[in-house]
Amino acid sequence: MYNAIICRYHEIAIKGGNRSMFEKRMVENMYYLLRKVHDIRISRVRGRIWIERKDKELFTDEQLEIIDEQLQRAFGLESFSPVIMCEPTMDAMKKAVDVSCRPYFAKAFEAKPVVSFRIRAKRSNKNFELDSRGIEIELAREVGREYDYDSLTINLEEADVTVWCELRCEFAFIYYDIIRGPGGLPVGSNSPVLALLSGGIDSPAACCEIMKRGCRCDFITFHSSPYTPPATVDKVRRIAHHLNLFQPPARLFICNLAPLQKLIRDKCNPRFRTVLYRRMMFRIARAVAVRHKRQALVTGESVGQVASQTIKNMAAIDAAIDMLVLRPLVGTDKNDAIALARRIGTFDMSSEQVPDSCTVFAPSNPATAVVLSKILEDEARIPEYPAMLKEIVENIEILTP
Ligand code: ATP
Ligand code: MG
């Protein structure tokens, strides 16, 4: 029964001169996310986005299902509602309520014998014959006609069924549901970034958080073949594929860290390995980011979570490069990161037990408070590392997961 979807987004983010850029990006992303719903038109009308079929017919249930699922992934979207769009006349609005209200009331009556309802009308056409209150009364009468007098009550505060009605000059529309979107800003409205994606729980969640702030995310992952199996990379590829459901598909850069890890194992203090590995990862990621014009790195680090994430170690890792590193989960508890991973659908994949690149040759007692000068002394013992880094960067495999 729905012939349009109305989409609402935050006004705050789109103030001033950037407004049209945000809106255009939002529409572009929605076309991409809804590509499986053929022949639709997405248009911007006064601070709202409308989705309709090109032929103006009703959406099918299957189309509505896809739209419902996909719009949950459209960052920037505050909420949306399937609506019945009609002529801006009282008769047309009554008819629209008449054809659409039954399933909502039927569902409410399943749960209780007496159902409360309310009509909420807004009108922007101030010349209309009735004011908002008048429209509400007329539509309430229409609903009342359908049902037994004793089984309905009106509750303006909290009703089992709310009929929303908006009247504009050119058209009117009726709806019942306000479905929450993911919020945030449309992907692509801020600069693109490169995320260090492991098979863990945190980094996929961090990627989603940063996409939600408008940054399109390319991914880089490090494995240690032959010390880690192909399954290590395959797991990350599947996670990256899933993350690409939230954005126009981005690339996964796959990088073998093993040669550097061997060098570090042979020449450096074993207790510094984790920090040294991480500094190498940052250097490689920075080189890839610069080459592919990504403006910042993203990690899933959270203060204090593991040995490499003490403030001192994070500072030593950070000092390896001169590039902005974004850590969306820096103050997030593990439980909250898990909840986030569950919400975005990566938790189960991340929970699969697969060997991780960081644990290759990892010491049982890693240093938790390194001093940068000591790290630099250790790196001075491996003068061949810059050449090796270069070679590793040249051999990175790129794929669109
Ligand atoms: P995650 O759950 O994201 O793996 P973690 O809590 O296990 O995080 P670490 O293993 O110390 O923490 O990793 C910290 C961050 O470093 C990760 O969130 C990720 O951004 C990056 N990282 C770690 N290992 C890799 C890897 N093999 N490939 C790419 N990035 C990695
Ligand atoms: Mg990890």
Per-residue pLDDT tens digits for 173-201: 999 999 999 999 999 999 999 999 999 99
- Looking at the structure, tell me whether residues 168 and 204 fall in a common domain: no
pLDDT number for residue 17: 76
Which range is least confidently modeled, 153-162, 274-283, 303-312, 351-360? Answer: 303-312
CA-CA distance, 9 to 48, in Å (whole number)? Answer: 7
Inter-helix orientation angle 311-318/273-291, to 10° = 40
pLDDT number for residue 69: 96
- Looking at the structure, tell me whether residues 174 and 232 fall in a common domain: no
- The boundaries of the domain holding residue 290 are 193-399
Q: Which atom of ligand 1 is nearest to the CA of 329?
A: 18
Ligand 1 pocket test, pick from 193, 202, 334 with the greatest ligand atom count within 8 Å of Cβ, gives 202
- Looking at the structure, tell me whether residues 162 and 215 fall in a common domain: no
Which range is least confidently modeled, 40-44, 94-98, 306-310? Answer: 306-310
- Looking at the structure, tell me whether residues 163 and 240 fall in a common domain: no
Q: Which atom of ligand 1 is nearest to the CA of 232?
A: 27
CA-CA distance, 292 to 283, in Å (whole number)? Answer: 14
> Does the residue 201 lie in any domain?
yes
CA-CA distance, 301 to 197, in Å (whole number)? Answer: 11
- Looking at the structure, tell me whether residues 31 and 97 fall in a common domain: yes
- Looking at the structure, tell me whether residues 390 and 283 fall in a common domain: yes
- Looking at the structure, tell me whether residues 251 and 350 fall in a common domain: yes
pTM of the prediction? 0.92
Return the number of other C-beta atoms located less than 10 Å from residue 364's C-beta. 6
Instruction: Give the domain CATH number at 219.
Output: 3.40.50.620
- Looking at the structure, tell me whether residues 204 and 317 fall in a common domain: yes
pLDDT band at 167 (very low <50, low <70, confident <90, very high): very high
- Looking at the structure, tell me whether residues 112 and 27 fall in a common domain: yes
What is the three-class DSSP state of 37? coil
- Letter for the amino acid at 229? P
> Does the residue 185 lie in any domain?
no
- Looking at the structure, tell me whether residues 44 and 109 fall in a common domain: yes
CA-CA distance, 108 to 269, in Å (whole number)? Answer: 68
Q: Is 308 in the pocket of ligand 1 (CB under 6 A)?
A: yes
Residue 387 has pLDDT above 90, yes or no: yes
| CA–centroid distance, residue 179 to ligand 1 (Å) | 34
> Does the residue 187 lie in any domain?
no
> Does the residue 26 lie in any domain?
yes
Residue ranges with strand state E in 216-272: 217-223, 252-256
Closest-CA residue, ligand 1 atom 17, reads: 300
- Looking at the structure, tell me whether residues 170 and 205 fall in a common domain: no
Q: Is 325 in the pocket of ligand 1 (CB under 6 A)?
A: no
Residue 78 burial by Cβ neighbours in a 10 Å radius (0-12, 13-18, 19+): middle
Q: Which atom of ligand 1 is nearest to the CA of 299?
A: 20
Residue where one domain finishes, among candidates 149, 180, 211: 180
> Does the residue 32 lie in any domain?
yes
CB 185 within 8 Å of CB 214 = yes
Averaged pLDDT for residues 65-93: 96
Closest-CA residue, ligand 1 atom 20, reads: 299
CB 58 within 8 Å of CB 2 = yes
Total number of domains in the chain? 2
